[in-house]
A and B are shown apart, each in its own frame.
Chain A
Amino acid sequence: MDAQLKKGFLEICVLASLRNKDLYGYKLIEDISEYIEISESTLYPILKRLESSGCLTTYTQEHNTRLRKYYRITEAGKKRITDFLSSKEDIMKIYDFIEREDEI
């Protein structure tokens, strides 16, 4: 997949994974990997960006005598998912356009 496009999708995928539950880094990778390829080093800057743009917050919790960082979605993050989903029609229009132009 196109790298720029993938970057955009991955941000929303991370937010979508966090929609109903808080998750830690490794679990996020496991969940998202089922649908789209993601590596640890790709996830890291995405998490940083989402945190600095206020789409998610973090907290640490003890797990098996060590610390684990959990990520929690914010209202702003939820809004980004809704915005993304509501643009589906527009995206489909772009696909149609590209396909049509390609056929001629």
Chain B
Amino acid sequence: MNKAEFLNDLRCKLNFLSEEEREKTLNYYSEIIDDMVESGMSEEEATLQLESTKTIAEKLMPENVTQGTTMEKVFDFTDTLLIKHGYLFVLLIIAFSFPIWSPIVVGILTFVGILFLILFALIALGGVGSVVALGIAASFITQSLLSTLSALGVSMFCAGFTMLIAIGTFKLINKISSFCKITYQNVKERSEKRRNLK
């Protein structure tokens, strides 16, 4: 990456900052790269020596902005309800609003279920496709070099595609599980706090 590419990349990743803060940060890194170049490095070497734009952006990010605020709001709301009106009231609300939230919950669960079904089907399909194409390549090997190579190419494409989807799925599962863990932790902490208040 040269200097311009690095700064462009960083600009995109800093979109959560205000215009002014973003420009200040970019100026800071631009100056540092210039100084590194002046001390004898090439632009590529300089950007390589710096931390990745991703790390830089992460360090400037206010911690867990979205997760913190939305979750906190929901928890605060339930907290006030529980403290003001007691558990029975909240249970009644949950029971009576059943027709409203149940389709939403079912909808989300179905969506997630179908999504994973599709992802696993794609992984299976890609895996099978890769093996089958490899078989076809093997069967052509004595007859035509061109056919063998194209079948081999298809097989590699399938394998790459499968890996890509598998990695994506794995990351998604990780995200979901960490979200569940954080939610569980929050609920636990909140209920302990409420118990201590009493």
Instruction: Enumerate chain A interface residues (CB-CB to B < 8 A).
Output: 24-27, 29, 39-42, 44-45, 64, 66-69
Contact = CB atoms under 8 A, between A and B. Distances in A.
A41 B34 contact: no
B32 interface: yes
Interface of B: 25, 27-29, 31-32, 34-36, 38-39, 50-51, 55-56, 59-60
Interface centre among B25, B34, B56 (most CB of A within 10 A): B34
Interface majority SS (helix, strand, loop, mixed), chain B: helix
A66 B29 CA distance: 14
B36 A44 contact: no
Contacts of B35: 24-27, 68
A61 B58 CA distance: 30
Nearest to B27: A69
A36 B27 CA distance: 25
Nearest to A29: B32
Given A40-B32, A41-B51, A69-B31, 20 more contacts: A24-B35, A25-B28, A25-B31, A25-B32, A25-B35, A26-B36, A29-B32, A40-B29, A40-B50, A40-B56, A41-B55, A41-B56, A41-B60, A44-B25, A44-B28, A45-B59, A64-B38, A66-B34, A68-B31, A68-B35
Contacts of B25: 44
Contact of A26 (B31, B55, B59): B31
Contacts of A39: 51
Contacts of B39: 26
B112 to A, nearest CB: 36
Contacts of A68: 31, 35
A44 B59 CA distance: 10
B5 to A, nearest CB: 17
16 contacts: A25-B28, A26-B31, A26-B35, A26-B36, A29-B32, A40-B28, A40-B32, A40-B56, A41-B55, A41-B56, A41-B60, A42-B59, A44-B28, A45-B60, A68-B35, A69-B28
Contacts of A66: 31, 34
A87 B103 CA distance: 64
Contacts of B55: 41
